[in-house]
Structure 1
Amino acid sequence: SASGKYISLSADKARRVIDQIRGRSYEETLMILELMPYRACYPLLKLVYSAAANASYNMGSTETNLVISKAEVNDGIFVKKFKPRARGRSYPIKRPTCHITIAV
């Protein structure tokens, strides 16, 4: 398994992609993630590569028979910034983050 913490991405947007790869094989997952046009695909692709490398190193399994058994997204913290506005005011900007866990 592999986990990514504090990924600068909304959890809802990551879930849209995670739901497509849950329960699929490793090769099919790589093909789906490389062809989908969403920004969430790149960090998920890195996590899937990492989970497959962990499985082959720790358990000695080959990458051809790996299946994504668990894929979940949890909300992280909001990174708070302030944007300067007119007349000396400032508006808060909340950048969402998420924690992603993938097990093969």
Structure 2
Amino acid sequence: MLNVRRLNEIIDNSTFKVEDIASSLESTLGGSSKKAVKNWKNGLMKPQPKNDHIDALAQTLNVDASELKAWNATFRYAPQSARKVRLVADLIRGRHVRDAEDILKFTPKRSASMILQVLKSAVANADEEEADVETLYVAEARVDGAGRRIGTKGFIPKDRGRAHPIRKEACHIYVTVAQFTEE
């Protein structure tokens, strides 16, 4: 995955323009390279950048390819409401991975173990692609609502013939880690 924040920092601090970068990527992307680079710069991942695209982009910008990469993991349909999980996700956003793991281990909330599981998976994804695990930080920790949990449709009877719905919510947890680069 492409680290959009780092890409924008590099482009802003250099003399490169989008057209220059697109012209150097035409061999790997074809005729739609200008549109793809604009989309990536704006955070829209269409087309999804592959590893060879990121390597070519890094070579054009004269940086290491690992600076432009980010690794993510997801937990879809986690059995807790998004509102509760967001409280814990806000604690780790922007922190070093080891600090985030320590915070999650000692947070007395049910969702902390779920987020810790996703964080460890993202770190394992980065380690598999031979990233420096000691310099990783949590670039993004996002929680989206997923609606009612599967299999929890129903009503609870109330007084005078009324019925209240049973609403057990689910959420999607997304964690992205990237390498911290000092300048």
Q: TM over 0.5, yes or no? A: yes
Higher relative contact order (CA 8 A, sep 6+): 1
CA RMSD of aligned residues (A): 1.8
Is 1:71 the counterpart of 2:141? The answer is yes
Is 1:16 the counterpart of 2:84? The answer is no
Q: Report the more deviating stretch, 68-77 or 84-93.
A: 84-93
Q: Percent identity?
A: 34
Is 1:93 the counterpart of 2:166? The answer is yes
Shift of 1:88: 8.2
How many residues of Structure 1 are paired with residues of Structure 2 in the alignment?
103
- Name the one with the larger helix percent: 2
1:16-44 superposed Cα distances (whole Å, 9 cap, x missing partner): 01111000001100100000111110110
Amino acid across the alignment from 2:137: V
- Name the one with the larger strand percent: 1
CA change 1:77–1:61 in 2 (3 A) is same
Query: Residues 6-85 of structure 1: matches in 2 within 5 Å?
Result: 6-58=77-129, 60-79=130-149, 80-83=152-155, 85=157
User: Could you tell me whether the CA contact under 8 Å between 2:138 and 2:176 is conserved in 1?
Assistant: yes
Work out the CA distance in 1 between the residues paired with 2:96 and 2:118: 15
Q: What secondary structure sits across from 2:80 in the alignment? A: coil
Amino acid across the alignment from 2:106: L
Shift of 1:83: 4.6
TM superposition score normalised by structure 2: 0.52
- Structure 1 residue ranges without an equivalent (≥5): none
Q: Which aligned segments of 4 or more residues in structure 1 are displaced greater than 3 angstroms?
A: 83-91
User: Could you tell me whether the CA contact under 8 Å between 2:74 and 2:172 is conserved in 1?
Assistant: yes
Shift of 1:97: 0.5
- Structure 2 residue ranges without an equivalent (≥5): 1-71, 178-183
TM superposition score normalised by structure 1: 0.89
Amino acid across the alignment from 1:100: I
1:67-97 superposed Cα distances (whole Å, 9 cap, x missing partner): 0001111110213432553798754211111
